[in-house]
Amino acid sequence: MRYIRPLVQTDPARPEGAVTLAGGWCWFDRVEVLSREAAPAVLPVAALTPEEMAPLTAPRAPVAGLTMDAPRVMAILNLTPDSFSDGGSHFGQELEDGLALAAEADMLDIGGESTRPGAEEVSVEEETRRVAPVISALRESGCGTPISVDTRKAEVARAGLAAGADMVNDVSAMLFDPHIAQVTADAGAPICLMHAQGSPETMQDDPRYTDVLLDVYDHLAERVAAAEAAGIARERIVVDPGIGFGKTMAHNLALLGRLSLFHALGCPVLLGVSRKRFIGTIGEAEEPVARMPGSLALAVLAAGQGVQLLRVHDARETRQGLRLAGAQWGM
């Protein structure tokens, strides 16, 4: 099997024969062909088969009403006491903070269970109690911003969707609770499938891969197929390589360096790197709240690789950075 990674560009000097990536703001005229059996090779797009070209060039359908022809900011609203960066910071002001974030972002991602390394599982009842009332309150307050419910559990997803959420964001890619696939399919909602090796309790103990890039790609391809088999159309599936979930710093950097490979899955790509530990290690920022500059740098770099959804803590700063980058890209 060969894996096709577009060598993505945003340069205004676009050569004849270049093609648009996923109906978006980037283009490419060459690809890197990867394989488990041979060394990488760079080829012109003319060397691709129609089957290889199609998922790279097909425009992505809107997600929760958001068009995918520009990078979109997904703001994190953690309703947890123990999230690594902002655990407990929204208690008592969930609605106010949610409305403020909604004014700065294209989508809200609301979660009631921490998935930081070492985090313990939260009961369905407690997680539902944390997220569903806040989603309902946002909708009752007139918030029209799309909302994603960040959960691994079918019943929490069901409650979140019933309360007014538009999308399910499952860090386990439907492996923790397989019933979440049917809940999502029945609701006609989109779902984000993320790669993770192991559970939050153990995922950073000793993560290993044969080839982290290709292993993550193959896993996501399998989960996309599983979602389709459950009745979720590919146009309603988003993929996330899961930076920091069962991965060392070297694994994270390998994935970020060839991030554009995941466009070959034919789905919008979501990236969540905001304030993660490796940013602090490389950027010399011990406290998570001090990692905004590094987080912003990676968000802009990812958008330059055609990533459509950026899950961030610092929505206002990220949007500003994307506006500046987009002005250079002709957006």
Assess if residue 4 is contained within a domain. Answer: no
Q: Residue 185 is part of a domain; what is its CATH number? A: 3.20.20.20
Query: CA of 67: how far to CAs of 59, 70, 248, 268, in Å?
Result: 10, 7, 33, 10
Which 3-state string (H, E, C) describes 283-320? HCCCCHHHHHHHHHHHHHHHHCCCCCEEEECCHHHHHH
pLDDT in tens, 10-33: 999 999 999 999 999 999 999 999
pLDDT in tens, 83-97: 444 444 555 678 999
Q: Examine the residue annotation and report whether 247 is marked as an active-site residue of this protein.
A: no
Q: Provide the domain count of the chain.
A: 1
Q: Which is catalytic among the residues 60, 276, 291, 319? A: 276
34 beta partners: 3
Q: Do 138 and 99 meet the contact criterion of CB atoms below 8 Å apart?
A: yes
Q: Which two tokens stand for residue 215?
A: 């292993």
71-75, 83-87, 266-270, 318-322: which has the minimum mean pLDDT? Answer: 83-87
pLDDT for residue 110 is more than 70: yes
Top pLDDT among 204 and 99 is at: 99
pLDDT in tens, 168-183: 999 999 999 999 999 9
Longest distance between any two alpha carbons in the chain, whole Å: 58
pLDDT for residue 201 is more than 90: no
pTM value is: 0.94
Top pLDDT among 148 and 86 is at: 148
Q: Do 116 and 82 meet the contact criterion of CB atoms below 8 Å apart?
A: yes
Tallying the residues shown for the chain, one arrives at 331
pLDDT for residue 248 is more than 60: yes
Percent of the chain with pLDDT over 90: 89
Q: Which is catalytic among the residues 60, 153, 258, 311? A: 311
What pLDDT does residue 199 have?
Answer: 65
Residue 37 burial by Cβ neighbours in a 10 Å radius (0-12, 13-18, 19+): exposed
pLDDT for residue 235 is more than 70: yes
Assess if residue 65 is contained within a domain. Answer: yes
Assess if residue 18 is contained within a domain. Answer: no
Q: Please provide residue 174's backbone torsions phi and psi, each rounded to the nearest 5 degrees.
A: 75, 15
pLDDT band at 120 (very low <50, low <70, confident <90, very high): confident
Assess if residue 165 is contained within a domain. Answer: yes
What pLDDT does residue 204 have?
Answer: 66
How many helical (H) and strand (E) elements, i.e. helices and strands, does the chain have? Answer: 10, 13
Q: Residue 166 belongs to what domain range?
A: 60-328
Q: Examine the residue annotation and report whether 275 is marked as an active-site residue of this protein.
A: no
Average pLDDT in the 235-249 region? 96
Assess if residue 25 is contained within a domain. Answer: no
Mean per-residue pLDDT over the chain, rounded: 93
CA distance linking residue 5 with residue 3, whole number of Å: 7
pLDDT in tens, 44-79: 999 999 999 999 999 999 999 999 999 999 999 999
Q: Dihedral through CA 284, CA 289, CA 290, CA 294, nearest 10?
A: 70
